[in-house]
Structure 1
Amino acid sequence: MNTRQRNAARRRVFYFRALDILGLGVAVAAGVTVLSNGAPLTARLMDAAPLVMGAATMLGLLRSLGLYRFDKGHGFLPHLFAVGCVVAIGGIVTLVLGLALHGAPATPWRDYGGWIASVLLLLLTLHAVWSLLVTSWRRKGALTPNIAVVGATRHAERLIQEALQRRDLNVLGVFDDRLARSPDAVQGVPVLGEANALLNHRLTPYVDRIVLAIDPKAEARVRDLTARLSALPIRLTLLIDPKTAEQRNAALEKLSQAPMAPLEGPVDPDRRAFNKRLQDLILASAGLALLSPLLLILAVLVRLDSPGPSMFRQRRHGFNQEEIVVWKFRTMAHAAADACAIRQVTADDERITRIGRFLRATSLDELPQLLNVLRGEMSLVGPRPHAIGMKTGAIESARLVADYAHRHRIKPGMTGWAAVKGSRGPMHTAAEVRRRVQLDIDYIERQSFWLDLWIIAVTVPVLLGDRMSVR
């Protein structure tokens, strides 16, 4: 399971909270129906207010007390006990507010008591299911962190030895710039190359955290490694050599903790990623449903225009260097297909078919990538995915810009900031590569729900209004 898939597993906590909100919303509606004698539309605000406030109190406490974290060290029964306490507090709020609004003689104690008992049963059932699911994911390794160690040092040797004993960390490999004096393996974990190899190593898409196991006093080396590896969307941790067994266990416990995403914080990256994924699922599903007739017509036209399949598949870079297979309508003659984009498209390129020119001019050839979006490999908005091994001139594009790997810190998109700013299609010079990468980095730093909606809204007018770009 690569990093993208593992991050998706961690963000399932947001679905948990959404179902809790939905369940309590249904419970409030049912309670109001009972209190209004089966006529909820005519219910008074005074009847609904105690139930609404009680439910809001429960949801607030579930979030603020961290009951959506499902940390590894938290037991099943203590978690359910905490949920029960939260319902009790929310129930007290409901009863007190009902007493204040209705007075003692008129307060429907039996109805409120029945509602509180129903909510208790509902939330205990839901959180029992959530806890069992998280336990199952941990058992399968979906939430066990994968780490790569930089530095074949005694620090690394101790870390790996302890990790093997604890079995709650997976050490995938060791990287060290001083290969001439590094062993072939550290405690059985292979030394796979220099630190820079992490930027495009085949294991990188599976790494959750990079641990710098070097002497913290070597400040210049720490700064250099941090600067080089910061291009990757992977957290860096500097391992301070613990002196005692207790300190070593504490350090490893921090590394091994893989809690589900917390829900607090206005700039929580997991919340932002969840919102972006929800946006992708809703819009891509709607788009695929509405455009299905058009997709079928285009597929038939491609087959009629030239021999070969209607679809073209190409391996491209996804999030964190992951290799993904991107779908497009075929726009070139089948025999001239260039899966690695070694030769980029030029004006009047003889390889492009008649229908292919129309598809490229309108970017309709990209529509099948809605399937990649639904699979979670791509997003509607993001840096455009480049073919693996794509060349600009005679040089691989990734080698022309030092910050090229930064564009893989987010999932690639069907459209993006660079596309609507005029940087789209093939890149024939190093300057064009640098501009594309800079625009991609600008988008990654500014990404938000509303920016994505704006980019989606202006994509079609921008693309159709550009007659000069070669695509």
Structure 2
Amino acid sequence: MRPIPSPASSAESAVAFVGGTEMGTRVSGGASGDPGRARRGPFRPGQLIPSRARLEARLLSRTFRIVDVLTAAGVALALTLEDHPLVAGLWAVTGLVALRMLGAYAFPRKQDLLRHMARTGLALGVGLLAAAVALLPSGGVEAPVVWTLLAATAGVAALHVAWWTIIARGRQLGRLTPNIIVVGATTNAERLIGAALRTGEANVLGVFDDRMDRAPGNIMGVPVLGDTTALLDHRIMPYVDRVVIAVESAAQGRVRQLVEKLGVLPNPVNLFIDVGGPAEDDAALARIVAGGENELSGAATGARQAWIKRAQDLVVASAGLLVAGPVMLIVALAVKLDSPGPIFFRQRRHGFNNEAILVWKFRSMRHEMADAHAARQISANDDRVTKVGKFIRKTSLDELPQLFNVLAGEMSIVGPRPHAIGMKTGGVESAKLVAEYAHRHRMKPGLTGWAAIKGSRGPVDTPESVRLRVALDVEYIERQSFWLDLYVIVMTIPCLLGDRSAVR
């Protein structure tokens, strides 16, 4: 596979052949006077975001609802302390229920701020009306209570301006809309792209087809970028959330061939079936984007599970930096004094969905003998390793800077260990030794992992060791859970300290 540029430069170069509007609106071909934009097609995220950084509007909406509930609970508590529990309860419960029922947490793609605030204002007005009814039996209106309710209502309204802005900005930047690639320059592809244009559920970045001699230059403006062999190595793939096969369902033989060929990808692969009219197409696209429609391969992690894993990473990495901070300072000083060269060694490695990430380590080799591409893997008594390097590799202290990769969201605490791009085993690129090699990139790479505590540590210098590593990594991806990650974290230190034979 070709090395993938850094996220910034990769996004810039990828924009050269991918585009469109975030909201799924049609762009007039060349009307803007920009022929490059017309060639890029009708879909254009504000910027290309790696699929690992994609968010779900649905989960953001739940977060907004929780904040609203906490805000209302705080106001209700304040009013209860002022001896108005009934007023507090009616305002909070009625307002929150009305917000939910009137769709204030739905955030439709084509709903502007004015319409959203009209729904929000109506719901909050219902809450105020309920509170006013509760105040009537008291025979008078107390000014402090009224001002508290008005201020709280204005505060919730301001929150909803912020919620709408966050969603709109996320969609504009491409963080909330998944990117898909279509395989098959067919009428099915036209239907899928038409659904994406109508609904804005996905950005269709390009089309690939093995029959390039009969494929058009574009389908409804979406460029045909090459055949499926080109797709496997394409530098756009780290930004792609799903690959959708749009071949007619009657062509079962061709579908099987494509599934077999695309099965090596880390990206989830789905099938779009030509059944029904536009409404059915729109619904099928929505289900594909959500991961629940004809998924053929890939190990897409549910959004809730991904959020839990990310929270776990942030907590453990932050605690790790606090505990290991003094040790890291000592190691940095020792590396600097031991041999000339930088303190850190940075190496491009494969991350989630084959994204190229820059992994940080303490330098353990002589600077002039560093091997950024891992053409020669580490071996026992390696003459490239410094005195301090031998110690920090043996104790795995050289890996501690990867805690910063975890905080940046490029890695996890637990996951398949990241391998150098183009790493070789016995003179052969390791990725070519196992057909399922890229499957280990269906999850973020980890600081430690299931393979590490199962004995697959250090170099993979034989075809058998590569196959074992990949098998253990895929097993972990299929079994991943919060509790399994905790088990791996707990077992990592005794496994590392108890293993004196592994070359590291």
Question: What band does the TM-score fall into relative to the shorter chain?
Answer: 0.7 to 0.9
Q: Distance in 1 between matches of 2:195 and 2:477?
A: 37
Find the residue that maps to 2:401 and give its secondary structure. Answer: helix
**Contact 1:372-1:378 at 8 Å conserved across structures:** yes
1:453 Cα deviation from its structure 2 partner: 2.0
* 2:259 match: 226
In structure 2, the residue matched to 1:456 is 489
Alignment of 1:43-82 (within 5 A): 68-74=105-111, 76=113, 79-80=116-117
Question: Alignment partner for residue 23 of structure 1, among 61, 64, 71?
Answer: 71
**CA separation of 1:429/1:31 partners in 2, compared to 1, >3 Å: closer, same or farther?**
farther
Task: Give the one of 458, 461, 486 matched to 1:425.
Answer: 458
Distance 1:461 1:62 in 2: 52
Quote the Cα distance in structure 2 between the aligned partners of 1:408 and 1:444. Answer: 9
Q: Which amino acid is the alignment partner of residue 20 of structure 1?
A: D
Question: In structure 1, how many angstroms separate the alpha carbons of the residues matched to 2:97 and 2:442?
Answer: 32
Given that 2:266 and 2:438 are in contact with CA atoms closer than 8 Å, whether structure 1 keeps it comes out as: no
Change in Cα spacing, 1:214 to 1:352, as seen in structure 2 (3 Å) is same
- Mind listing any 5+ residue stretches in structure 1 that lack a counterpart? 36-46, 262-266
- Structure 1 window deviating more from structure 2 (304-313 vs 136-145): it is 136-145
Distance in 1, matches of 2:97 and 2:392, equals: 50
SS of aligned partner of 1:452 = helix
Distance 2:472 2:100 in 1: 37
Aligned residue type for 1:432? S
Conserved 8 A contact 2:266-2:440: no
Task: Write out aligned runs for 1:69-468 (5 A).
Answer: 69-74=106-111, 76=113, 79-80=116-117, 83=120, 119-157=152-190, 160=193, 170-179=203-212, 181-183=214-216, 185-186=218-219, 189-230=222-263, 232=265, 234-241=267-274, 247-248=277-278, 251=281, 255=285, 269-468=302-501
The CA deviation at 1:341 is 1.0
Q: CA RMSD in A?
A: 4.0
What amino acid is aligned across from residue 464 of structure 1 in structure 2?
L
Q: Distance in 2 between matches of 1:453 and 1:59?
A: 37
**Equivalent residue number for residue 21 of structure 2:** none
| Contact 2:98–2:124 (8 Å) recurs in 1 | no
Q: Distance in 2 between matches of 1:359 and 1:129?
A: 47
Aligned residue type for 1:411: K
Alignment match of 1:7 (pick from 22, 47, 54): 54
Contact 2:202 2:289 in 1 (8 A): no
Distance in 2, Cα, partners of 1:178 & 1:50: 69
Q: CA offsets per residue over residues 419-468 of structure 1, 9 Å max, x none?
A: 11111211122222222112212222222222222222221121111111
1:19 is displaced (CA, Å) by 3.2
Query: Does the CA contact (< 8 Å) of 1:69 and 1:259 recur in 2?
Result: no
Distance of 1:366 and 1:28 partners within structure 2: 50
Report the CA distance between 1:386 and its aligned residue.
0.9
Q: Given residue 220 of structure 1, which amino acid in structure 2 is its aligned partner?
A: G
- Paired amino acid for 2:449: G
2:43 maps to which residue?
none
Distance 2:223 2:111 in 1: 34
What is the CA–CA distance in structure 2 between the aligned matches of 1:272 and 1:66, rounded to whole Å? 26
Amino acid at match of 2:281: A
Q: Tell me, in whole angstroms, the C-alpha distance in 2 between the residues paired with 1:148 and 1:235.
A: 11
Letter aligned with residue 78 of structure 2? A
CA-CA distance at 1:128 after TM superposition: 2.1
CA 1:147–1:289 in structure 2 vs 1: closer, same or farther (change >3 Å)? same
Q: Return 335-344 or 85-94, whichever deviates more.
A: 85-94
- Aligned positions, number: 448
CA pair 396-157 structure 1, distance change in 2 beyond 3 A: same
Instruction: Give the partner amino acid of 2:50.
Output: T
CA spacing shift, 1:167–1:340, aligned 2, 3 Å: same
Return the alpha-carbon distance in structure 2 between the equivalents of residues 382 and 293 of structure 1: 26
Q: Which amino acid aligns with 1:3?
A: P
Identity %: 49
User: Is the partner of 1:316 in helix, strand or coil?
Assistant: strand
Q: Deviations over 1:190-239 (max 9, x none)?
A: 44343354344211111133222211111233244335435545454433
Structure 2 counterpart of 1:42: none
Instruction: Select between 425-434 and 348-357 the one with higher mean Cα deviation.
Output: 425-434
Tell me the amino acid that sits aligned with residue 352 of structure 1.
V
- 1:28-73 per-residue CA deviation (whole Å, 9 max, x = no partner) reads 44344434xxxxxxxxxxx989968986887788779875452314
Contact 1:381 1:413 in 2 (8 A): yes
Counterpart Cα distance in 1 of 2:422 and 2:177: 32
CA distance, structure 2, for counterparts of residue 406 and residue 208 of structure 1: 14
TM-score (norm 2): 0.75
SS at match of 1:124: helix
Which letter maps to 1:387?
Answer: A
Range with bigger deviation, 162-171 or 183-192: 162-171
Contact map agreement 2:99 2:123 (CA 8 A) in 1: yes
Change over 3 Å in CA distance of 1:431–1:92 after alignment to 2: farther
Q: Are the structure 2 counterparts of residues 140 and 55 from structure 1 closer, same or farther at C-alpha, using a change threshold of 3 Å?
A: same
Matched residue, 1:40: none
Distance change in 2, residues 1:195/1:118 (3 Å): same
2 CA distance for matches of 1:49 and 1:455? 51
Offset of 1:76 from its aligned partner? 4.1
